[in-house]
Every structure is written in structure tokens, then in C-alpha cells.
Amino acid sequence: MFVINCKNYEEISGDKIIKFVKTAEKISKKYKIKIAIAPPQHLIGLVAKSTIPIFAQHIDDSKIGSTTGFVIPELLKMSKVKGSLINHSEHRISSKEIEKLISKLKELKMTSVLCVKDIAEVKKYVKLNPDYIAIEPPELIGSGKAVSKEKPGLISKAAEAVKNAKNNTELLCGAGIVSGEDVSKAIELGSKGILVASGIVKSKNWDSIMSEFAKSMV
């Protein structure tokens, strides 16, 4: 599985997100790899009915109805959105909110991808049994220096912590991943997939970089 977080990059602004998602659909089918995409929040509706899972980048612990500007999981579900990132490094929330949102996504049968910054957080939050825990050292995000090469021990320790929890949570890792080699190294170290942004979104050739990543996962 790889999750592409589009953040708010200009490269996928407006209708460009449609071409981006179509490319991912093609690559996912060709290599039989699960690819999920988290578009900018305001563009989700444009691509939510794709053949690959579309995730939100952030959700709020807020109710249906008079909650102006909040992003409500129940309404995302009604728009066919399949899950959400929670607690991304660029949009951290409290542990109380994390707990409530994981449980809300479970009730709704939506996928939770909980982002954490270190092993202590892996150990703390794996107990909540999110579908995925994505470990991303903040200092490597957007750096082009892959977590799998710069901090291999972090991935293997995180994989062990997730395994020791003996639940259904799977490990993803991210930050600075830009090549197929970075991806295969992450998988070798025990990650089940990756969370990536700039390495794919900012690439001049989406088809070729997504293919490179996908081939490194099969």
C-alpha cells in the first residue's frame, strides 16, 4: 500500500488533481498495488468516486450540522471518501482527539492512518488499533533524504513495536522518500508501505515515478 499525501501543492491544484488520480488508478491496476490518495481538502469531492481509495488529509472531532468549516467524517463517508490521515506532522491534534477520531473512523468502517513522529508515539498509539501507523521524522519531511536511508533503525524499531502489539495495525513510514530504492529499503526494514508527498507530487512525470514506486513494492 502506498498513500500519497498531496498536501496543498500547486502541482495538483484545480483540475490537475483529476489527471493525478487517473494516473494513480492506472498504476494501481497495472501493478496490482493499493494506492490511496489524500487530495487537498477542497478537491476531495472531485475525485472521491475514483476506483482507488481517496482519503482526507485531516478530520475534525466535530458533529454533523452547525459546525462551519470543520471536516466531518460522517459527511466524508457520504461522499465515498474511504478514510483519513490523522495527526499529520503539519496538522497535529491532541491525544484525546486522536482517540476519538480513530474510534469514529472504526464505527464508520473507514480507514485510519495515524501519523506519529517517534517510537514513543508508536508504542502509545498502537494500542488504539488504527488501521495504519505512519512514522515520519519531521526533520526529514520534504527533504529528499529518505527515512529508510537516514534512520533505518527507526523503521525496524517501529515495525517491532507494531508487531508486539499483536493487533491489526500495519506500519507505514514516510519522509523524504523519492525513489524506488528508498521504497524497497523501507519494505525490507519491516514497513508494509509508505506515506509520500513531494517525491511523487512534485515529479515532472507522475506515471514514471508512480511506476518506479509500485515496482519496488511487488
Active site residues: 88, 136
Chain-centroid distance, C-alpha 65: 27
| One character per residue 187-216, x = contact with ligand G3P (rule: CB under 6 A) | --------xxxxx-----------------
DSSP annotation of 137: -
In the numeric block, which cell numbers belong to residue 57? 488529509
Residues annotated within the binding site for substrate are 5-7, 141, 176, 197-198
Tell me, what amino acid is at 218?
V
Smaller CB separation from ligand G3P, 28 or 87: 87
Residue 21 or 195: the one with the smaller Cβ distance to ligand G3P is 195
CB of 129 to ligand G3P, least distance (A): 21
Radius of gyration (C-alpha) of the chain in whole angstroms: 16
Side chain identity at 12, as an amino acid letter?
I
CB of 178 to ligand G3P, least distance (A): 7
In whole angstroms, what is the distance from residue 6 CA to residue 10 CA?
Answer: 9
Q: Which is nearer to ligand G3P, 195 or 214 (CB)?
A: 195
CB 57 within 8 A of CB 84: yes
Q: Which of residues 76-115 bind ligand G3P (CB under 6 A)?
A: 88-89
Residue type, 121: E
Residue ranges that bind ligand G3P, judged by CB under 6 A: 5, 88-89, 136, 141-142, 174-177, 195-199
